[in-house]
Amino acid sequence: MVLDPEEGLNPDGTIRTGVHRERVPAEFEPVVVAAVEALRDFFDEHAELHLYGSVATGKARLGISDVDLVAIGVPEGWARGMSAALSTRFMDVCRGVEIGPGQPADFRGDGDAGLRESGVPAPLLCSPGRA
């Protein structure tokens, strides 16, 4: 296993990951865009979509890796159904699309960083209420 030099602990003790929106491999970009569009089509400004895992760190492998997402403020049924639909649509790109549902209260932190301090994967891909 190759360690990502961007992973580790921040000086304040929070976890730093190698996750960055810019690191998404080009082959996986259509999957990420489809997930973002799906969230925007169905939910209001309180929903959020976060990417994590090998796609978000740039280490994903075509046809082998899955796409891991957390959708905050969406029903479990939507997450399960959209996971299945996107997995079928993009079966030539990834092993599957996994969208885990969460509610905002599950991820609130005490500090300014809020969601990040509580361990929500970054980056925030979209929140319909934000530009």
Q: Give domain status of residue 93, yes or no.
A: yes
Average pLDDT over the chain, rounded to an integer: 80
Q: Give domain status of residue 13, yes or no.
A: no
Q: Per-residue pLDDT tens for 81-119?
A: 999 999 999 999 999 999 999 887 776 655 434 444 444
State the pLDDT at residue 116: 45
Q: Give domain status of residue 34, yes or no.
A: yes
pTM: 0.77
**Structural domain range at position 95:** 23-126
Residue whose entry in the numeric block shows the structure tokens 């997402």: 69
8: left (phi over 0), alpha (psi -120 to 50) or beta: left
List the CATH number of the domain containing 54: 3.30.460
Q: Per-residue pLDDT tens for 64-82?
A: 999 999 998 899 999 999 9
Mean of pLDDT values over 12-25: 79
For the chain, give me the number of helices (H) and strands (E)? 3, 6
